[in-house]
Each structure stands twice: as C-alpha cells, then as structure tokens.
Amino acid sequence: MMANNGAPLLEAREVSKYFGHVIALEGVSMKVHAGEVMCLLGDNGAGKSTFIKTFSGVHQPDRGVLLVDGEEVRFNSPRDAIDRGIATVYQDLAMIPLMGISRNFFIGREPTRGAGPFKRFDVAKADRITREELHKIGIDLRDTAQPVSTLSGGERQSVAIARAVYFGAKILILDEPTSALGVKQAAIVLRYIARTREQGIGVIFISHNVHHAYAIGDRFTVLNHGRSMGTFEKGDISMQELEKMMAGGKELDQLSAELEGSLSAKSEAQANEPDS
Amino acid sequence: MAQTATADERVRRVGAFRKWLTRPELAAVAGSVLVFVFFAIVAGDSGFLTLGGAASYLEVSAQLGIVAVPVSLLMIAGEFDLSVGSMVGAAGMLVAIGIVEYGWPLWLAIVAALVLAMLVGLFNGYVVTRTRLPSFIVTLGMLFALRGLTIGFTRLLTGRTEIGGLTGATRGSPLPPIFAGTIKGFPVSIIWWLVLAVIGTWVLQRTVFGNWTFGVGGDPNAARNVGVPVNRVKITLFVCTALSAALLAVIQVLDAGSADVLRGQLLELQAIAAAVIGGVLLTGGYGSVVGALFGALIFGMVEQGIFFTGINTDWFQVFVGVMLLIAVLFNNYIRRRASEAR
Ligand SMILES: Nc1ncnc2c1ncn2[C@@H]1O[C@H](COP(=O)(O)OP(=O)(O)OP(=O)(O)O)[C@@H](O)[C@H]1O
Ligand SMILES: [Mg+2]
C-alpha cells in the first residue's frame, strides 16, 4: 500500500508546543506517505488539533522540525502551508452557508474570463467543474447555485474535501470530519476519503472515534496528554487495544464501575424520596 | 423511505418557476406590481398612469435608487453606511459654495465633491476594518459629524444655510444636461439609476469582486481563510456608497439650482429600507441589486402615488412602514425556503 519508498510526504520530528505553562505537545513524531491514511487518535485535549495546526501553518512548533518531501520547512502562515500542497479541512469547513455551492467551491480562487475592466468570474466554468467534481463523489446537484446550507453535514464535508483535492492538495488534513455526523453521513465521508487515498494523496485523519478510524486508517498514532503513545500498523493492533490506549488504559473500566455505582446510588435516593 | 425520497429529489430537475420563487428579489418585484396596480386603480384617473406621472415617480425612485444600489452591495458585504444622507448634504454644499462663492468651474466643483466623498468613504472603511467596531456606530458618528461640519462651515463661509443662484452660474457649461437634463420629459437621473443598477448587478453576479462581496458578508473569517482580501472589499464598497451620494448631490444641486445644508436627511434609512425590501439580508451575505432597484421603485411609486390620490402626503411614511414590514416578513419566508429546499 505504501508505494513511496523515498522520503515521506510529510514528517514531524520531536515536535513540542507550549502555551504558557501548558504543555500541549511534547516530542511528538509522525510520518505520512503518499496514498495512505494516517490516523491521529486521542481523547479531548490530547493535542491532536494543536499538532496538525503546526502543519497547516497556524502554529509554529517551539521545538522539533517539520519536513515536506524530506526537506525542512518552516510555515509562518496558513498560506505557506497551502503553497506546499497541504490543505486542511477544519471542523467549521470554511464554507459560507447562504452562498451557492459553486460560489463556495471557488471563493478565493475564482476562474476568470476576459481582460481589464471586463474581466469576470467565469460562472459557467465554475458551475461545470463543481458539478463534475461533486458528481465524482456521488452528489448530483440539481442546481449549483443552491445554498450550501441545503446540503447535509456529510455532503458538506465531502464538498470541502473535494475542493481541497481539486485545488491540488498533496496532503489532506481532516480535523474530526466525522464526529458531528450520523452513521450514514459518516460512511459517505469515509468512503470519499478512501477514494482520495487512491489518488495518491496523503491523508491525516483526526478522530476520537475508533470505529471510524479503524475502518479507514492504514496507520495510527495515539496521543495522550500531548505525548505520543506510539505509531501502529493496522495489522499490529486491534480496535480494542487502540480504544484502551486512547482512554489511557484502565479509565474506561473504572468509569463503567463508577457509573454503575452512581446509578445504583441514585435509584436508592429515589426510593427514599417517595413524593418526587 | 425518507432515504429514497431524498435520492429521487436530488436528481429531479426543478422548473424555472420554482427556482424563481426562491430569488431574493421576488418580494420587491411582486410588491412593485401590487403597488402599481393599487395606485393605477385608486389614482389612475388623476394622473398616475400618464407619462408625466411615470416621470414623477421614476425621478423619486431614481434619486433614492442611485444610492440604494451601492448601499445594497455594502449591506451584502455585511456593513451599513448611515452617512450617505449627510454626504449628500456636504457634497451638495461643496459644489454650491465652490461655484457661487469662489467661482470654480462646474467640473472642478464636481471633482472636488467626488474627492471629498472618496475621502469620507475611505475614512469610514478604514475605521470600520481597523477598529472592528460595528459600521452602524462608525457611520452613525459620521452622519452627525458630517452634517455638523456642513452646517458649521456653510454658515461660517456664507452666513446662510441655503445657497441658490447656481442655474445662472453654470449656464453655458455642457455638464448640467448630463446630470439634470431631461429626455422627452424624463429626467436623466433615471438613466443614471438604471445604469448603476446594471453595473451593480453585473459586479455582484458576474465578477470575482461580487463573489467576494457575498463571502465577506456571509462569513468574514471563512472568506479570509480562503484568501479573500476582506478589508479591501469593505473599504471599496464604503467608497462606492459615498461616491454615489456625491453623484446624487450633484444631480440635486444642478436640478434645483440651489443647495441646502439639510439635503439628504433620512436618505440613509430609506436606502437601507429599499435594500431590505429588495431582499438584502440585514446581517449580510445575501441579497441582490435588482431587489434594491425595485425597492427604490416601490418608494417612488408610493410617494408620488399618494400625492396623486389627493390624500395628504403626510400619510406616505405610514404606507412605507407597513410595506417594509410586510416585505421583510415575506423575504424571511423566501430565504428560509431557499436555504432549506432540499
Ligand atoms: N491557543 C491555545 N492557548 C492555550 N492553550 C491551548 C491553545 N490551544 C490548545 N490549547 C491547549 O492544548 C491542549 C490540547 O488541545 P487540542 O485542541 O490540541 O486538543 P484536541 O486533541 O484537538 O482535543 P479535541 O478532541 O477536544 O479537539 C488543551 O489542553 C488545550 O487547552
Ligand atoms: Mg481538536
């Protein structure tokens, strides 16, 4: 599956990031190759978003280095990262709900026709490409001018991904693309990510849903309190083991015991209060 | 069940008619027809349906519409300009004082008014984008300050608040017919209005700048993240609203042959009302210039229509208020349908 024997598309070596006295990341390393889905797993606050924001140019690492195609880079702004082919789809998607789909698809990078004062937005071309690109991912639009808000959550995620791919992303970073979605909608997005991988794009997929991650991932890096718990090939680890590691070992067992305890306590309390 | 229904729905083609029913300007177009029919019935035999009647309401509409076109663009970009009315007063006075008191040629006075407007627009735009204060507040400040400066300077320089005698002073210049002439009884301001509306529509619907305008109003952060120069778009539009006010001032001054420090009062609110009747969303990101054109047309027809009915024109504002409320309710309904239509 990993066709590329040479340098990885993107590599992070011993990256640390501090916010004042908060250690958001400490010595985290990761590699992404062309045509693979690298999953970044971890609980809330584990540092996943902070980590990928160093790739997308939002944060600069305090320690450690980033390499693109084996070459050391420093991103001072999101623009720098985009110029190196790193596209990030954040949770909020950067889509404008009341605007038409094709207008959204091309905003900031509109195709134009004509010259001088008659230079204009090539609406026909934008509509055609949007229709084609969305058709590829199984969304058949009746009207490319319909507002983005008329799409479902999964479709919107897919459109945001399609846009990144269309504009030449080599590395696609998806920050929790499925966490707000139901089962069917998540399946749409996961299927589309698989197709993106087939085009030779390196995908970093962030999730705290092990089921989604295990379905799509080739390799998994687990973060816990800003530290890497290691990177695992899909064949070397089971879903249960991943889940345990994310939750930090025994915590889930402890939680279920706790919950049982509090539930029985509650029912006892209710039993003692007849008029409530 | 639901799943197959949506799948079918998605490939079904929608008729042009249904698509039209979700356009932002629908209420304004329908409202214009209703208002026209209403006054045609009520005031048809007292002159509303004559060419002269049409010229009179179109002139009122044109004067408002010239400003309402850029104001609607600015509102789509998510900002207000409450200073356009004061700008009309200031620019008109500058033209009149320049010509009458200082003997400037007309062209110079017009250029001076446009330059003043550009500076005011730049100021509004810079303050709004730099300080991130709401434009409502910034331009409200400009509304008072500019009006005060106009009154203060006019009285200081001339001792009066109204300046006449421009007709004589500009006689022989080729410029007045361009701004205040008539063609077959119709004032040329109507042409200015229509031309500006066509340009505004073209810019909004067919240029990159127009796409940015929607984006900036819809979600400034999202627009900025994809590389749209948000501040530049806003500042440009503030300059356009101020320039349109100066154009209107030139038209009014040359038409009346005089300028008054109080010119343009309430224009800012009428322009916003015209834009809102025309389907522009008060919070930005949605609307059309064609809607604002019809919004201004409704204003003109109501104002002159009431005059033709012989009812006291004091009642004009009641009519406008009710119209505004109905139109906004209707627009809300349409927009909800458009953004939920699946
Ligand atoms: N800009 C910031 N300033 C200060 N602290 C921050 C900042 N950004 C993140 N942090 C802290 O860094 C830690 C990691 O946050 P991060 O958002 O990366 O977590 P996450 O793994 O993405 O969690 P989630 O699953 O909730 O999205 C948290 O403790 C957070 O409070
Ligand atoms: Mg996060």
Residue nearest to atom 10 of ligand 1 (CA): A24
Query: What pLDDT does B179 receive?
Result: 95
Rounded Cα–Cα distance for residues A155 and A134 (Å): 9
* CB-nearest partner of A142 from B13, B215, B219: B13
Q: Which CATH class is domain A10-100+152-245?
A: alpha beta
CA of A47 to the centre of ligand 2 (A): 7
Query: What pLDDT does A30 receive?
Result: 93
Query: What pLDDT does A249 receive?
Result: 57
Chain B CB contacts of A97 below 8 Å: 218-219, 339
Is residue A50 within 6 Å of ligand 1 at its C-beta? yes
Is residue A180 within 6 Å of ligand 1 at its C-beta? no
Q: What is the DSSP letter of B315?
A: G
Rounded Cα–Cα distance for residues B113 and B93 (Å): 9
Strand A63-68 versus strand A71-73 pairing type:
antiparallel
Q: B218, A112: Cβ pair inside 8 Å?
A: no
> Is residue A107 within 8 Å of B223, Cβ to Cβ?
yes
pLDDT higher than 70, residue B16: no
Is residue A57 within 6 Å of ligand 1 at its C-beta? no
Query: What pLDDT does B119 receive?
Result: 98
DSSP B289-303: HHHHHHHHHHHHHHH
pLDDT tens, N- to C-terminus, chain A (276 residues): 444 456 899 999 999 999 999 999 999 999 999 999 999 998 888 999 899 999 988 889 999 999 999 999 999 877 788 888 998 887 666 688 889 999 999 998 899 999 888 899 999 999 999 999 888 877 888 788 888 888 888 888 888 888 888 888 899 999 888 887 788 888 888 988 898 899 899 999 998 888 889 999 999 999 988 999 889 998 888 888 888 888 765 555 666 667 766 656 555 555 555 454
Query: What pLDDT does A263 receive?
Result: 59
Q: CA separation (Å) from B275 to A80, A184, B65, B280?
A: 40, 42, 9, 6
Residue nearest to atom 1 of ligand 1 (CA): A19
Rounded Cα–Cα distance for residues B145 and B139 (Å): 9
CB-count exposure of residue A43 (10 Å: 0-12, 13-18, 19+): middle
Domain ranges in chain B? 21-341
For chain B, the average pLDDT equals 90
Query: What pLDDT does A247 receive?
Result: 74
Query: What pLDDT does B9 receive?
Result: 41
- Of B114, B156, B158, B186, give the one whose Cα is nearest residue B258: B158
Hey, what are A136's tokens?
A: 């590829």
Rounded Cα–Cα distance for residues B38 and B311 (Å): 14
Q: Of B12-21, B55-64, B190-199, where does mean pLDDT reach its minimum?
A: B12-21
Amino acid letter for position A24:
A
Q: Of A264-268, B76-80, B186-190, B266-270, where does mean pLDDT reach its minimum?
A: A264-268
pLDDT higher than 90, residue B204: yes
More confident residue, A136 or B198: B198
Evaluate whether the domain defined by B21-341 bears CATH number 1.10.3470.
yes
Instruction: Spell A12-42 as b/e; 16+ CB within 10 A means b.
Output: bbebbbeeeeeebbbebebbbbbbbbbbbbb
Q: A110, B10: Cβ pair inside 8 Å?
A: no
- Of A127, A140, A71, give the one whose Cα is nearest residue A101: A127
What is the number of alpha carbons within 13 Å of residue B197 lying toward its C-beta?
26
Triad B207, B209, B215: Cα angle to 5°: 115
Containing B11, the helix (H) or strand (E) segment is helix B2-11
Q: Which of B18, B19, B219, B282 to probe the A interface (max A CBs under 10 A)?
A: B219
- Of A180, A185, A10, give the one whose Cα is nearest residue A87: A10
Q: Report the atom number in ligand 1 closest to the C-alpha of A226.
A: 14
For chain A, the average pLDDT equals 85
Chain B CB contacts of A92 below 8 Å: 222
* CB-nearest partner of A142 from B12, B281, B335: B12
Q: Taking an 8 Å Cβ-Cβ cutoff, which residues of chain A contact chain B?
A: 78-79, 92-99, 103, 106-110, 112, 119-121, 123, 139-143, 146-147, 149-150, 184
Handedness of CA A140, A144, A145, A151 (dihedral sign): positive
Query: What pLDDT does B7 receive?
Result: 40
Q: At what angle do helices B135-158 and B106-131 cross, to 10 degrees?
A: 150
A117 C-beta neighbours (distance < 10 Å), count? 7
More confident residue, A44 or B339: A44
Is residue A40 within 6 Å of ligand 1 at its C-beta? no
Chain B CB contacts of A141 below 8 Å: 10
Is residue A207 within 6 Å of ligand 1 at its C-beta? no
Write down the pTM of the prediction. 0.82
Sheet holding A37-42, edge to edge: A86-89, A171-175, A202-207, A37-42, A219-224, A227-233
pLDDT higher than 60, residue B6: no
CA of A83 to the centre of ligand 2 (A): 23
> Is residue A126 within 8 Å of A105, Cβ to Cβ?
yes
> Is residue A265 within 8 Å of A273, Cβ to Cβ?
no
Rounded Cα–Cα distance for residues A71 and A87 (Å): 18
Tell me the mean pLDDT in the region B86-91: 98
Rounded Cα–Cα distance for residues A104 and B169 (Å): 53
More confident residue, B288 or A267: B288
CA of A163 to the centre of ligand 1 (A): 27
Rounded Cα–Cα distance for residues B233 and B213 (Å): 7
Query: What pLDDT does A251 receive?
Result: 59
More confident residue, B115 or B170: B115
Q: B208, A121: Cβ pair inside 8 Å?
A: yes
Is residue B145 very low, low, confident or very high in pLDDT (cuts 50, 70, 90)? very high
Chain B: residue whose CA lies nearest to A151:
B342
Residue nearest to atom 25 of ligand 1 (CA): A44
How many whole angstroms from its chain centre is CA A53?
Answer: 11
Tell me the mean pLDDT in the region B38-44: 90
Q: A99, B206: Cβ pair inside 8 Å?
A: no
pLDDT higher than 60, residue B14: no
Query: What pLDDT does A269 receive?
Result: 55
Query: What pLDDT does A253 receive?
Result: 62
